[in-house]
């Protein structure tokens, strides 16, 4: 009987520790979400989201482009954030090998009132390097859904670059060659220095160089690069009005085969870098 009593006390102690740990994690994660809502959604600041995003989310293919499209569309449909309730949710544990997120993570939802309607903001957060980070997010708003779907669909359908005349194509090709040499160098910050003004407003120098360094660390050194196409477009949806050009490369790196896309903006009579994306080639 005495042994059973000791065992019972041990189990009670373990349960208390587990409960206390979960309570502590719930408070930590909830505070992180609370502090993230205003900076991200008051003016639909995608950069504020990226600063709080996990490495896993940042490395998701097309996260940057798709995320910006979504924020622009929801921002137009809902307007600025007016108020937000306290987050509801908590931490959970997943140790199965086939779990989408293994280890400790937390799910929270926030009821928010925007200028033009209500929305439920959903977050999935994980601890990364001892710091809570966003690994997933979602915006549920029936009032804005149709408008957002239409806006994103329209943006994507309208982004059609067409061939230009030989002189313009040669000018963009020359700019793309210089940009690629800069991106391949050890001084990638100088690429940002020479980029368009609106690109530098959207992406900080540190973020640009850090993302590029992470990509190159994963893909390795460029082994061969082929210019596949050069196209032109006026007033690209979601960007400042003006003349744009796009150069698309098929590139073989030492550890990956990628498609690289460089977007250029005609600023003060010169084609300057205004975007750089890469996707794995299949």
Question: Where residue 275 sits, what CATH number does that domain have?
Answer: 3.10.450.100
Residue that terminates a domain, selected from 156, 181, 210: 156
Give, for 110, the enclosing helix (H) or strand (E): strand 103-114
Report CA-CA distances (Å) from 179 to 50, 108, 275: 25, 42, 11
Q: Which two tokens stand for residue 162?
A: 């067409």
**Statement to judge: residues 117 and 134 lie in one domain:** yes
**Statement to judge: residues 108 and 164 lie in one domain:** no
SS3 63: helix
**Statement to judge: residues 90 and 174 lie in one domain:** no
Report the C-alpha gap between 45 and 32 in whole angstroms.
17
- Per-residue pLDDT at 253: 93
- Per-residue pLDDT at 207: 86
**Statement to judge: residues 6 and 112 lie in one domain:** yes
Q: Which residues of the chain have pLDDT under 70?
A: 1-24, 61-62, 93-103, 143-159, 238, 282
- Per-residue pLDDT at 106: 87
Query: For the whole prediction, is pTM greater than 0.85?
Result: no
**Statement to judge: residues 243 and 132 lie in one domain:** no
Specify the residue for token string 């060659």: 177
**Statement to judge: residues 169 and 133 lie in one domain:** no
**Statement to judge: residues 23 and 114 lie in one domain:** yes
Report the C-alpha gap between 208 and 183 in whole angstroms.
11
- Per-residue pLDDT at 236: 79
**Statement to judge: residues 139 and 170 lie in one domain:** no
**Statement to judge: residues 124 and 206 lie in one domain:** no
- Per-residue pLDDT at 66: 74
Residue that terminates a domain, selected from 100, 122, 156: 156
Give pLDDT tens digits for 16-53: 444 455 666 888 889 999 999 999 999 999 999 999 99
SS3 136: strand
- Per-residue pLDDT at 222: 92
**Statement to judge: residues 99 and 192 lie in one domain:** no
**Statement to judge: residues 115 and 164 lie in one domain:** no
The domain spanning residue 24 has which CATH number?
3.10.450.590
Closest CA relative to residue 82, chosen from 115, 49, 109:
115
**Statement to judge: residues 137 and 165 lie in one domain:** no
Kindly report the number of other CB atoms within 10 A of residue 156's CB atom: 13
Residue that terminates a domain, selected from 156, 186, 203: 156
- Per-residue pLDDT at 144: 67
Which domain, by its residues, includes 244?
159-280
Q: How many CA atoms lie within 13 A of 63 on its CB side?
A: 19
Domain count, the chain: 2
């Amino acid at each position: 009987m005495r042994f059973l009593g000791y065992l019972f006390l041990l189990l009670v102690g373990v349960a208390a520790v587990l409960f206390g740990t979960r309570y502590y994690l719930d408070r930590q994660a909830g505070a992180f979400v609370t502090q993230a809502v205003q900076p991200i959604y008051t003016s639909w600041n995608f950069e504020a989201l990226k600063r709080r995003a996990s490495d896993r989310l940042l490395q998701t293919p097309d996260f940057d482009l798709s995320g910006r499209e979504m924020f622009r569309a929801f921002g137009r449909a809902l307007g600025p954030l007016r108020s937000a309730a306290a987050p509801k949710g908590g931490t959970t544990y997943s140790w199965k090998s086939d779990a989408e997120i293994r280890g400790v993570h937390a799910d929270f939802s926030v009821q928010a009132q925007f200028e033009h309607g209500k929305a439920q903001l959903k977050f999935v957060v994980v601890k990364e390097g001892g710091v809570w980070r966003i690994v997933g997010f979602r915006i549920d708003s029936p009032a804005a859904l149709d408008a957002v779907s239409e806006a994103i669909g329209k943006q994507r359908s309208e982004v059609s670059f067409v061939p230009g005349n030989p002189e313009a194509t040669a000018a963009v090709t020359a700019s793309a060659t210089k940009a690629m040499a800069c991106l391949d160098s050890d001084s990638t910050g100088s690429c940002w220095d020479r980029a368009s003004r609106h690109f530098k407003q959207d992406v900080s120098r540190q973020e640009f160089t850090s993302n590029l360094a992470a990509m190159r660390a994963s893909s390795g050194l460029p082994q061969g690069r082929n210019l596949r196409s050069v196209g032109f477009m006026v007033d690209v949806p979601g960007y400042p009005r003006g003349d744009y050009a796009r150069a698309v490369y098929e590139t073989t790196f030492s550890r990956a085969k990628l498609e690289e896309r460089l977007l250029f903006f005609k600023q003060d009579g010169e084609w300057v870098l205004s975007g750089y994306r890469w996707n794995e080639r299949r």
